[in-house]
Chains A and B, each alone.
Chain A
Amino acid sequence: MSRGTGTTYRTGARPDRLTGWTSGWHLRLMALVLFWTPPARAEALVADLTNHLIAITTGFTGASVVLFGAIDRPGDVAVVVRGPEREITVRRKSRIVGIWVNSQEMTFANVPSFYFVAANRPLEEIVSPETAAFYRLGVTNLEIKPDATPPPQIVEEFVTALVRTQQHASLFPNSVGKVNFIGERLFRTTIEFPSNVPTGTYLVQVFLVREKDVVSGQTTPLVVSKVGIDADVFGFAGRQPGLYGAIAVLIAMVAGWLASLPFRSA
């Protein structure tokens, strides 16, 4: 994959005028298109990843990718990485006749399966809460909303549980990561992916922030994919489940037969 696959866009509007009345994702896409202008002669922000493909192989134990870039003059930088969206069901256990049973459940559509955020200074120091919400900077700004509309305080409990579980699985960050500046113009940050990283296309967004507002941004895709024999096994199991099952049985039978052989001499 060549570098420079990212798109550059500029925002002119104050984002806080747009928030508060929509779930935002589609609007944000629209904003991306509307406010997109051809790259200026001197880019305000350029960034790239050391690696655009995370290959999950048999020995995969996680990976780290370095994001690096430069800005034209001093400013703040925030980085967000979002994994492919998934539908997540959160279930809550409660005690029924002495046994803990899943009794309540809530389904959330479009939850990022992985989330990472980093900035060179604490987020609240570099952006306004509205801007943070608009660009989904920080775990609390992910806009995780249930499909149904139960009472808000219950929703909050379930969302908190969802975030906590994802944090436990290292798929959501416990804190905002660090973007390090080398001098005033060059920056870098390291994104860590755990061994249970979900597969799919990730979006890496880099924002240049000045005076509490995003003045420039760049989006780069990052692909997490199973490769080699694992990808083949997984793909095959999905495409040809019957045949996969038959082969699994056959392999086990042959293995069993081989296992019985040493007993004969004993």
Chain B
Amino acid sequence: MDIYLPIAEVSVDVFVLLALGGAVGFLTGVFGVGGGFLITPLLIFIGVPPTVAVASSANQLVGASVSGVLVHWRRGNVDFKMGYVLLIGGLAGSVFGVWIFTLLKRLGQIELTISLSYVVLLGTLGALMMVESINTRLRLNRPGVRRRKLHQHNWMHGLPLKARFRRSKLYISALLPIGLGFVVGVFSAILGIGGGFIMVPAMIYMLGMPTVVVPGTSLLQIIFVAASVTLLQAYTNRTVDAVLALVLLVGGVIGSRIGSRFGTRLRGDQLRLLLALLVLAVAAKLAFDLTVHPADPYSISWEKT
């Protein structure tokens, strides 16, 4: 059954969209990441214009992260203060990101930027996660290894504006989460992702937050950044397809329920290894597409006159 998407201006099979939302929801349930990094490329693949795909995934993400935060909040695993501080940077970053997006769209380089950013980001993160999870596995098999310190002190701890984050048991400079929020906000706008896969590792390894509060806190700030991106994209580029986002959300709800049940059966390091493989596979596919001779080197874009 086909459904006509009013902003994307294409007809897409509604079951394909539901399946796509479901698959991404499944990943959210299993890994606790938003899955925006998969939704955008997949939407482009089924024929949705890239600019609409990016903006509508941001809209979809608002819903997905709201439901995620509520679940974590009921378990008390959200550091609200940290979330708000991240948000200050996140909002500034998303404004800057949408501005870059509009500029690149005009120059005809937005698709290249989207693909290249994905390759670099996913490639780096996938590789890091892979190394980390393999190390963990090796450590588990080798008993008697000396425990590392809780965290190392480095230049980051010399920054001003120190603040206490009770829930995260941290006393760090507020500039760190603001900066992190900014970077994630920029990517969120350009790539239509929540940035969970950048945010989560950065919170654990850079800020040193306890793992249990990371997903909820990350999702909390993603709600607001994604909402801000949706608003800005709707306003400046008119590329938000609410119908598309809603269909994806419906699929996502079903997928995430199945996913979270499945996720509890796997060990943490196994999860991370699987996620790393998935992320690397997406990066490899995008990198391949960039370097292989295109079927048609020409492309067109039109405007009403």
A242's partner among B70, B227, B234, B252 (CB-CB below 8 A) is: B234
Instruction: For the complex, give the distance between the alpha carbons of A57 and B238 in Å.
Output: 20
B230's partner among A111, A200, A245 (CB-CB below 8 A) is: A245
8 nearest A-B residue pairs (beta carbon):
A256-B66, A245-B234, A161-B298, A252-B63, A256-B63, A260-B70, A260-B67, A252-B62
Instruction: For the complex, give the distance between the alpha carbons of A89 and B250 in Å.
Output: 36
* B74 within 8 A of partner (CB): yes
Inter-chain contact B290/A100, CB cutoff 8 Å: yes
Inter-chain contact A88/B302, CB cutoff 8 Å: yes
Inter-chain contact B2/A195, CB cutoff 8 Å: yes
The closest CB in chain B to the CB of A158 belongs to B298
* Given the contacts A247-B242, A249-B227, A256-B62, A89 and B108 also touching, CB distance less than 8 Å: yes
B231: A residues at CB distance < 8 A: 242, 245-246, 249
* Given the contacts A94-B297, A100-B290, A89 and B302 also touching, CB distance less than 8 Å: yes
Inter-chain contact B249/A256, CB cutoff 8 Å: yes
* A164 within 8 A of partner (CB): yes
Interface string of B48-91 (1 = CB under 8 A from A): 00000000000111111111101100100000000000000000
* A98 within 8 A of partner (CB): yes
Q: A60-B4, A237-B234 are in contact. List 13 more A-B contacts (CB 8 A).
A: A61-B11, A88-B303, A89-B108, A100-B297, A165-B298, A195-B11, A231-B6, A233-B243, A248-B242, A249-B227, A251-B246, A256-B249, A259-B249
Interface residues of B (CB under 8 A from A): 1-4, 6-7, 9-11, 59-68, 70-71, 74, 108-109, 111-112, 116, 223, 227, 230-236, 238, 240, 242-243, 245-246, 249-250, 252-253, 256-257, 260, 290-294, 296-305
* Given the contacts A94-B297, A259-B63, A260-B70, A87 and B302 also touching, CB distance less than 8 Å: yes
Inter-chain contact A56/B242, CB cutoff 8 Å: no
B304's partner among A84, A98, A105 (CB-CB below 8 A) is: A84
* Given the contacts A248-B234, A256-B65, A257-B67, A58 and B301 also touching, CB distance less than 8 Å: no
B303: A residues at CB distance < 8 A: 86-89
The closest CB in chain A to the CB of B299 belongs to A91
Instruction: For the complex, give the distance between the alpha carbons of A254 and B130 in Å.
Output: 36
Interface residues of A (CB under 8 A from B): 56-61, 84-94, 98-102, 105, 109-111, 113, 158, 161-162, 164-166, 195-196, 200, 226, 229-231, 233-234, 237-238, 241-242, 244-249, 251-253, 255-260, 262-264, 266
B294: A residues at CB distance < 8 A: 93, 100
Instruction: Name 30 A/B residue pairs within 8 A (Cβ), A-sorted.
Output: A57-B4, A58-B4, A59-B3, A60-B2, A61-B2, A91-B298, A91-B300, A92-B297, A93-B298, A99-B112, A102-B112, A158-B298, A161-B300, A164-B296, A164-B298, A165-B299, A229-B6, A234-B6, A237-B6, A244-B242, A248-B242, A248-B245, A249-B62, A251-B242, A253-B62, A256-B62, A256-B64, A259-B64, A259-B249, A260-B70
Inter-chain contact B301/A88, CB cutoff 8 Å: yes
How far does the Cβ of A108 sit from chain B's closest Cβ, in whole Å?
9
